Structure 1
């Protein structure tokens, strides 16, 4: 055990002699109100993030024509699956470790997990840094560190501060072919500087003051769930982005339309994803506090999936004629995109279920279950069907999306089993720790 020099409460100091969970008063209504209240700033956070790192670059690229739009889409796709997706997957370990430790009042362990995660990520990215410089690890890991402490507004403030810089970068380089790429890199660095500055001036409640390497290099096995998180996230990300890569086979119009559809879908994904993140943090906090209220959180999150899925479907389906015009003035691309959105809208139901239920799995430390389900859904079902329907049966881009939809339907049904049928939180077989949670 590492002994801290400060007197703040540690996880080891708050354990009870008995194994009975801690109860506190809550209800379905109270949990729904809390999750909705916290989801709003979280939604703004991820909306700003997707705008800064995807929507704005695609918007300015689209104004230069469908060829630049297509090229920018391919570049962003390859950039994402070789960098940010790996970081995001590994940082799901913080959804479990930091949030559970915070719920157990082990405040300095929250900071210690964050610091270890940053160190591991930068060591992991040494090979990739040889090919391209990426400041994404610091950005995404720091955001998880703040969210685990229920500081849902902090990332929003940081990203809002970066927004004017992003617009300035894109306006300055809007006439250059590589303008979107250069602006994206500068935006990443701006956000990284701002988020580190925010943490520096934060209240430091959860900061670990012992930064010796002998301390930071201990217990990396706790992050083994981060490997499952990488598999879980990358399986989903690659399945979506392989559609963009395969769309290039059909021509520039199809690829440009696919880019617009993916951008719209990513925007709408922020609704269920934000709610899922807040549900994950809330669930892990209750697990760390040994409270049965985690059952209520799962029920609230399950009810929210249907509502959010219906809202997203309605936006994509009924505004399919107007949404493409935000990104392009090419009438051929607009027409193709509008027809494509008609079918892709059905995918929003599966997106809502998967975004929220996968977050609940991460809150329980069950990334291993999520990784197996995602690999099965996307690599055994979705991608083979995408290839079969898109190329063998010659349905084109709509066939690619149909294959993805069938894979997501399987995943939605499979993820409901450990989240709903499983009797979550009735009692613990042993005292929980922030890194190993055994539920019955």
Structure 2
């Protein structure tokens, strides 16, 4: 009897050890797969965001008005366009990721072309915002002198907005296949060229703001040329079968998914835009805008890490749902979220220690640097929240929940966060701090709601929904090839 008990205990111990080994192997495999997407995505976003921050740094050294104008234009107008186009493009992230998981490889190229059409029409509709930026900003209560310079900057940003069409769609197309190293190489090349040209044109040749903006436009377009060549010239033989008239078919379902995707991401990205607009109406607006813009840029650097994990969560969840594995999708969510949270906590502590020292990268004003130091605790809290919230948004994109999350964002941000921020900032005279605290509370509420939704989701049902979606829009490859033949003829 004792021998039987001993054998059972040993067998139980062996089974536990085997399970632990399997779990470690599974965790290691998932972590490697996640970083294949997240690593290049983080670097690419760092580089792309770095282009704008470098331009802002040069604008700051040209003059305080130029810095305020550039910051206002970037944070309000460019972020608006970025939010719309990135949101609309995230529909492609859902479709390509799930189609790739379902091994419908040739459909990725068709989805890419459909997304190009939708985003081009959207960008064209956004043009008036950039053409009439000065009167628009004055109407929103911004300083007239700053608004005039911002209007000049916004005309240059038209070229940047159209660059987003190629940039976002090609990145999502390549990420779905875990082929995004090429994007990282192109981004590294671009930011190197941008640093040199900004110094040469803005400082050495004294072209000022014009030189900085010319360099910015070139820095956004150079990687796009490389991505297009990679996609169309043999880098994606299985997923790019050439241009096709099938891109014009089933456009309306893509538009609807793109609109819900756009609503979801726009509501998030515009949140900070409203924060800047509210700040522009406070006392000593120039110092307040400069300090807040610097904080948001530092926050933005950290956000690039979180957006890399957003991409990883989206790709991994969509691939696994398309493949039909709900367990793998859930395990990927857990791994990505915990990894991002750990990095966010380290940065939270770091920025609490550094406080306002980083402000001198962007400005020479001690008054602005002091204001940044005062806002640093709020900045650190934003960084911690940003390590979780974008990952959950990535899960939503991968699963195709954009419409649901859009409603969550409306409730959390616009019915809770902004009203509390207005009361604290204006009624209780807490100014920038009060507005930001309100916004943080909205973000916290949104994060909690997304955690609950993700936790309670029936992932087996999500597999069925993903399969239904990819099969609904599936076009047999033979029909695609015949269409290309007809086009060639």
- Tell me if both proteins adopt one fold, taking TM over 0.5 as the criterion: yes
Structure 1 regions of 5+ residues with no counterpart?
1-24
| CA distance 1:157–1:121, change in 2 (3 Å) | same
* Residues 39-438 of structure 1 aligned to structure 2 (within 5 Å): 39-52=38-51, 54-129=52-127, 131=131, 132-133=158-159, 134-171=162-199, 172-174=201-203, 175=206, 176-209=208-241, 211-213=243-245, 215-223=246-254, 224-249=256-281, 250=283, 251-292=285-326, 293-425=328-460, 428-429=463-464, 432-435=467-470
CA offsets, 1:108-153, max 9 Å, x none? 1011101110111112222334643432211111111111111131
- Which one has a bigger Cα radius of gyration? 2
Aligned-partner Cα distance in 2 for 1:408–1:145 = 29
Aligned-partner Cα distance in 2 for 1:342–1:428 = 42
Aligned-partner Cα distance in 2 for 1:220–1:427 = 24
> Is the 1:288–1:433 Cα contact (8 Å) retained in structure 2?
no
> Is the 1:317–1:342 Cα contact (8 Å) retained in structure 2?
yes
Moved more, 169-178 or 374-383: 169-178
Residue 426 of structure 1, CA deviation: 6.9
> Is the 1:98–1:434 Cα contact (8 Å) retained in structure 2?
no
CA offsets, 1:81-118, max 9 Å, x none? 44221110011112210011111111110111011101
> Is the 2:80–2:270 Cα contact (8 Å) retained in structure 1?
no
Aligned-partner Cα distance in 2 for 1:194–1:27 = 35
Give the match's secondary structure for 1:126: helix
> Is the 1:118–1:137 Cα contact (8 Å) retained in structure 2?
yes
CA offsets, 1:282-329, max 9 Å, x none? 111111111131121122123234313312312321112321122112
Residue 70 of structure 1, CA deviation: 0.8
CA offsets, 1:50-89, max 9 Å, x none? 101x211111112223322111101112332442211100
TM-score for the superposition, normalised by structure 2: 0.79
Residue 344 of structure 1, CA deviation: 2.2
Moved more, 111-120 or 132-141: 132-141
Aligned-partner Cα distance in 1 for 2:181–2:127 = 31
Residue 431 of structure 1, CA deviation: 7.5
> Is the 1:135–1:189 Cα contact (8 Å) retained in structure 2?
yes
> Is the 1:59–1:326 Cα contact (8 Å) retained in structure 2?
yes
Give the match's secondary structure for 2:106: helix
Give the match's secondary structure for 1:168: helix
Aligned-partner Cα distance in 1 for 2:313–2:214 = 35
What's the RMSD between the two structures over aligned residues? 2.2
Residue 423 of structure 1, CA deviation: 3.4
Give the match's secondary structure for 2:249: coil
Residue 428 of structure 1, CA deviation: 4.6
TM-score for the superposition, normalised by structure 1: 0.87
| Higher helix content, 1 or 2 | 2
CA offsets, 1:145-179, max 9 Å, x none? 11111113121011112123322331213442344
| CA distance 1:283–1:430, change in 2 (3 Å) | closer
> Is the 1:295–1:424 Cα contact (8 Å) retained in structure 2?
yes
Aligned-partner Cα distance in 1 for 2:109–2:244 = 13
Residue 204 of structure 1, CA deviation: 2.7
Aligned-partner Cα distance in 1 for 2:394–2:340 = 12
Aligned-partner Cα distance in 2 for 1:428–1:207 = 22
| CA distance 1:392–1:206, change in 2 (3 Å) | farther
CA offsets, 1:376-424, max 9 Å, x none? 1111111222222111211111111101110011001000122122232
| CA distance 1:346–1:110, change in 2 (3 Å) | same
Residue 243 of structure 1, CA deviation: 1.5
Structure 2 regions of 5+ residues with no counterpart?
1-23, 132-157, 473-489
Residue 429 of structure 1, CA deviation: 4.6
